Chains A and B, each alone.
Chain A
Amino acid sequence: MSFMLFLDKRHADVQAMMTAKDIPGLIRHLNHRNPDIQWQAAEALGSLGTEAVVPLIRVLDGGHKAVRIGAIEALAKIRDLRSVRPLVHLLKHDEAVEVRWIAALALGEIGDPSAIPILFESLRSKEKYVRYGAARSLELLHWIPRDDAERAYYAIALMNWPGAKKMGKAATIPLTDILQDPDPATRLKIVELLGQIGDPDAQPACEAALRDKDAPVRWAAVVAAKKCRVLSAHIPWGLAKRPRTGQNPWAAAVLNFFFVGLGYNYLGFWWGFLVFMSYASIFTLAQLESGPFIPYVYVYPITALFAAQTFYMAKKMPDL
């Protein structure tokens, strides 16, 4: 086992706890500062066998992330069927992607075919790590895709893009399913493939991609649009609906009218705060000098100038 490279010097504490079968102590070490010790503790817990299962399952709910990961590693080594249900729960609901990923991997290691439906479901996760882990586990469980669509899901999860393309129109729905992936590189690949496959059913997905928040994805969608049967006239219209990255000139102007400086901040200039803090200090001093209301009379004509300048500046800023 290549992994033993990391275990050549087993930490004395871990060794002692393993001999004493001190399960709570080992679980505490899953969150040790030193990652090597985390690993050793997980390995040791896994080698303790079935008696560790119940305490390990108990920490899956609510423990620290490193503890959950270590406990899952150990459970995957023990391969006790009691751990399948809690692992399925984590795969569905855990907030950390790594935990969902390792839960998917562990379900494959344990080898209970009852996990197949949830693993197949996970091929549609929006996180590529989870899809990837689920695909590997399905393979370990000897899952066989029934049709081209399932084969496409599997190929996409493994990032096997040529394989997905081979499925032709059967890949359209699997591809559009994961257009929610937070990774722009993956979305880009999906849009390119949809263009190459050229299925009219991909039209809504291509239109959605025109509005993507990432510029390269939008451009790929423009290139793919024709093959996806998006009307040419619709392309600029679709693009126009993308989330604003350039800021709204009106908002910038209003902000700079009432809070001089923050309008610049809103437009992305870091020094807006400085302008604002200076303005606020001068204004407060003026209020102390001449009472609370008179400064307002003087300040708004001045800030109106700032607001107008900001408005034109924001309008000229490039977008798309």
Chain B
Amino acid sequence: MTERRDISGLIKALQSPDFAVQTRAAQALGSLGPAAMDELIATLKNKHRDVLLGVIEALSVIRDPRSIEPLAGALKDENSEVRWQAAMALGEIGDDKAIGPLREALKDSNKYVRYGAAFALATLGWKPGTADERASYFIGMQEWKAVEDIGPDAIPALNHVLNDPDSAVRLKVMKILGSIRDEKAIPALMRGLADGDKDVRWEAALAAPSCGINPMHIPRGLSRRPKTAKNPVIAGVMNFLLPGLGYGYIGKWWGIMIFQIDVTATVWLFKYEGDNTTSAVLFPIYIILGIHAWYITRKMPDFV
């Protein structure tokens, strides 16, 4: 296909389930040089992840400055691998026009994208100027010690990273805020106290007093964490109305089994014993099941 310059064929091959075929297709597209540019850039509108990754790889081999703008667009793709690959490609192409979009990408919520952007900026010979830029750059490079040394000026950049879905990164942020010891970190620490991850919360609790939060105010911050405990009343009512499903609601796998047994038993009882007996037998059982689900849900530990 390379010899025939069959660009659309090669682009199709990017979707091959075989990884080796994918990479060879990407390399072949790259080897076609600037002639393939127009079609490759048009393909960037494609939504398929593997195609996008392959096209970006090819563009990074061709190194044509015309691809800067479309690649800067790919830095805003919804897929983080695509954003990451686009950042790396912008570094490979080596045009200073990429610096602006890459600096924006340092604030991405995904650590791979931030790392790619920082790496690309370094490849382009960019030197961070202000303290905020340095902080963003070192956060991207995952050089936490250097971030810590910047001190209070790193706090706005650290705030951005709190959106990272990786709790290990958020934990790191809390640790650094604790050692920076500055009041400007208070909103970030309050967010950390209510974090969904228990280790981040604990680190925030340790860091909070050193930034000037009154220790008496920390427990309330923690109590705003997302609720993981189930509501006993819902479990109880559900188990009364649909016996077994209340157990299912609190995560007991055998709840559905009880539900099914109840359905079968109810059907047969109705058939052979009639309405009144059935109600008389089942109603007390349902009440007991409801109370039981309510009770065990109350007893379930709520992780702090």
Contact = CB atoms under 8 A, between A and B. Distances in A.
Given A2-B183, A98-B304, A69 B219 contact: yes
Contacts of B199: 185
Contacts of B214: 1-3
Contact of A105 (B212, B219, B304): B219
Contacts of A219: none
Q: What band does the interface of chain A fall in when counting residues whose beta carbon is under 8 Å from B?
A: 35 or more
Interface in B268-304: 268, 301-304
Contacts of A97: 302, 304
Interface string B215-231: 11101101110000000
Contacts of B216: 73, 76-77, 102, 105-106, 109
Interface in B179-223: 183, 186, 198-199, 202, 205-206, 211-217, 219-220, 222-223
A102 B220 contact: yes
A103 to B, nearest CB: 9
Interface string A248-276: 00000000000100100110000011001
A35 B257 CA distance: 42
Contacts of A153: none
B179 to A, nearest CB: 15
Interface in B117-157: none
A127 interface: yes
Interface string A182-193: 110100000000
A160 B220 CA distance: 24
B198, B214, B268, B303, most chain A CB atoms within 10 A:
B214
Contacts of A292: 268
Interface in B239-266: 253-254, 256-257, 260, 264
A262 B220 contact: no
A276 B223 CA distance: 40
A66 interface: yes
Given A69-B219, A105-B219, A262 B256 contact: yes
Interface stretch (A17-25, A128-136, A141-149, A300-308): A128-136
B217 A3 contact: yes
A259 B260 contact: yes
Contacts of A280: 260, 264
Interface in A24-48: 35, 38-39, 42
A2 B212 contact: yes
Contact of B220 (A73, A128, A183, A266): A73
A106 B303 CA distance: 22
Interface residues of B, number: 31
A5 B256 contact: no
B183 A39 contact: no
Contacts, number: 90
A66 B186 contact: no
A42 B216 CA distance: 11
Contacts of A105: 215-216, 219
Contacts of B301: 182
A182 B303 contact: yes
A70, A129, A272, A273, most chain B CB atoms within 10 A:
A129
Contact of A262 (B212, B254, B264, B304): B254
A227 interface: no
Contact of B224 (A35, A102, A128): A35
A32 to B, nearest CB: 12
Interface in A53-111: 65-66, 69-70, 73, 76-77, 96-99, 101-102, 105-106, 109
Given A105-B215, A280-B260, A98 B205 contact: no
A73 B256 CA distance: 45
A105 B217 CA distance: 10
A286 interface: no
Contacts of A272: 253
Interface string A162-195: 0000000000000000000011010000000000
Contacts of A262: 253-254, 256-257
B215 A3 contact: no
A159 interface: yes
B195 to A, nearest CB: 14
A273 B186 CA distance: 47
A128 B222 CA distance: 13
Given A182-B301, A259-B257, A262-B253, A73 B206 contact: no
B224 to A, nearest CB: 6
A185 B301 CA distance: 18
Contacts of A266: 253-254
Given A2-B186, A69-B220, A280-B260, 13 more contacts: A5-B186, A66-B223, A73-B217, A77-B216, A99-B219, A106-B216, A127-B304, A129-B202, A132-B205, A183-B198, A259-B257, A272-B253, A273-B256
12 contacts: A2-B186, A2-B211, A3-B212, A42-B220, A70-B220, A98-B223, A99-B219, A132-B205, A133-B215, A185-B199, A262-B257, A273-B256
Which A-B residue pairs are the 5 nearest by beta carbons?
Answer: A2-B212, A102-B219, A97-B304, A98-B219, A98-B223
